[in-house]
Amino acid sequence: MTIAIKFEGNPTMNNPNEARVKCTQCDTIHTLTLETEEVDRTERQMGAEVQYDTTGEVDCGCGQEITYIQSEWEYPEGSPTTSDKPVVTGGTLV
């Protein structure tokens, strides 16, 4: 199934719009829908440095909450510079 996602971040960012995670408590696999948005902007010498966070979350049937977050930066705007590894709590990427 294809899920249409509206990215609020810069379209040059190469984020996936889905992530598959496995619950650490019951091993159920969930597909998270991810959304990217600008969370920080700093004016610097070459222009704006912009931070984008890509996040998703799901409540597993066992009561566990699984969250996903990945931060990326552009400097100047439009030029990706740094990309953190995704951080998943309550589950693991599969």
Q: Which of residues 45-84 bind Zn ion (CB under 5 A)?
A: 60, 62, 64
**Both structure tokens of 47:** 């222009």
Q: What is the DSSP letter of 37?
A: E
User: Closer CB to Zn ion, residue 25 or residue 42?
Assistant: 25
Residue 94 binds to Zn ion (criterion: CB under 5 A) = no
Q: Are 70 and 56 in contact (CB under 8 A)?
A: no
43, amino acid identity: E
User: Closer CB to Zn ion, residue 52 or residue 68?
Assistant: 68
Choose, by CB under 5 A, the member of 19, 23, 34, 88 that binds Zn ion. 23
80, amino acid identity: P
CB of 55 to Zn ion, least distance (A): 19
User: Closer CB to Zn ion, residue 42 or residue 92?
Assistant: 92
Chain residues in the site for Zn ion (CB under 5 A): 23, 25-26, 28, 60, 62, 64
